Amino acid sequence: MYGSTNITEEDARRMNVSDEEPEKLLAFEDRIARGEKIEPGDWMPKEYRRQLLRMIEQHAHSEIVGALPEGTWITRAPNFRRKLALIAKVQDEIGHGQLLYSAAETLGKTREQMLEDLLNGKSKYSNVFNYPAKTWADIAVIGFLVDGAAIVNQVINSKGSYGPYCRALERICYEESFHLKQGHDNVVYLATGTKHQRAILQDAINRWYRPLLHFFGPPDKMSAHSEKLMKWKVKLASNDDMRNQFLDQYVPKILELDITFPDPNLRKNNDGIWEFSDPDWEEFKRVINGGGPCNAERLEVRRYAEEAGRWVRQALLNPQEKYQVPLA
């Protein structure tokens, strides 16, 4: 699961290819235009490498941190079958993090350096994981809607130009289809259950509605565009397009259960575009910059894990070992 990468104004300004060799750049862009994939050993513009690395690294961190809100409920799953499913899902998310770190490593940054940058706050991860999972119904909503949103994003990104990222995403999407189905199963079970079960589900939907709208990043009119990134197939769809696709696919699946969204303005207009109230983009910025309800806890848990497990790591290390970039 993952939220889409937000390209800031500063990043768009830094997109500069004037110092690249024009011949190589042309051949590179031709290759992408023909639908060919770029592989780790190939020549690539510095900005392509930088943007992809940042994007895949953020994606990897999101998988690792994303396991924390869900892990909250492993000890208190309502029955054994749900517990098995939740453990399997959380393990998958960590596995996805590993796959993505591997893909990012092929661009020339070590996994250790990426983890370091997560711990020191230099690298970001998806905002949605800075919200708490208050009840079991949150697990249902995360499994169905957060993973549903992630799949929209990941299916689109799997058509990108960088081979290792595409291969990781294909495997991830395959596994996430189980996450989505078990999440839907969980949501339907609560929605068709007792009054209390319906109430906690409605409450969870009310709380996750805004973070879900934030998930795909700021509206297109507020975010920096980079035609280069589109041309290089690093970014494949706009934030608004992905958000609309998500709403189109998932809103009806909640409404059919007679559960509502906390937004009187949520509706599909005659052009097939979903309209909704302003989901407070200031809050989005606050959470990115560390002000969300769980930012501090998420990083504190990661720091604890690094420090408490350090002795194991050190026992395993061979000081003579040199870091080797993976092949593919």
Q: Which residues contact another protein by CB under 8 A?
A: 39, 41-42, 68, 71-72, 74-76, 88, 91-92, 95, 98-99, 102, 110-113, 115-116, 119-120, 132-134, 175, 296-297, 300-304, 306-308, 310, 314, 316-319, 321-328
What one-character DSSP code corresponds to residue 38?
B
Would you say 159 or 303 has its CB closer to another protein? 303
Of the two residues 264 and 311, which places its CB atom closer to another protein in the complex? 311
CB of 37 vs another protein, minimal distance in Å? 11
Of 11 and 175, which has the nearer Cβ to another protein? 175
All residues at 6 or more sequence positions from 45 whose CB lies less than 8 Å from its CB, including other chains: 17, 20, 25, 28, 232
Provide the sign of the torsion angle of the four alpha carbons 41, 45, 46, 47, taken in this order.
Answer: negative
Taking the alpha carbons of 306, 143, 161, 231 in that order, is the dihedral positive or negative?
A: negative
Nearer CB in complex with another protein: 32/99: 99
For the chain, what's the residue count?
328
What is the smallest separation between the CB atom of 91 and another protein, expressed in angstroms?
7
Residues 107/40, Cβ–Cβ less than 8 Å: yes
We find the least distance from the C-beta atom of residue 75 to another protein, in angstroms, to be 6
CB-CB neighbours of 196 under 10 Å: 9
Closest CA to 129 of 172, 53, 70: 70
Q: What is the nearest approach in angstroms of another protein to the Cβ of residue 181?
A: 13
3-class DSSP state of 268: strand
Q: Say which residue the tokens 């575009």 belong to.
A: 273
Taking the C-alpha atoms of residue 59 and residue 124, their distance in angstroms, rounded to an integer, is: 9
Q: Which is nearer to another protein, 264 or 317 (CB)?
A: 317
Residue 267 token pair: 């509706």
Q: Minimal distance in Å, beta carbon 277 to another protein? A: 28
Select 134 or 181, whichever has its Cβ closest to another protein.
134
Dist. CA 18–CA 254, nearest whole Å: 49
Cα separation, 137 vs 139, whole angstroms: 5
- The residue (of 275 and 304) whose beta carbon lies closer to another protein is 304
CB 223 within 8 A of CB 10: no
Taking the complex as a whole, how short is the minimal distance between the CB of residue 245 and another protein, in angstroms?
A: 27
CB of 130 to another protein, least distance (A): 13
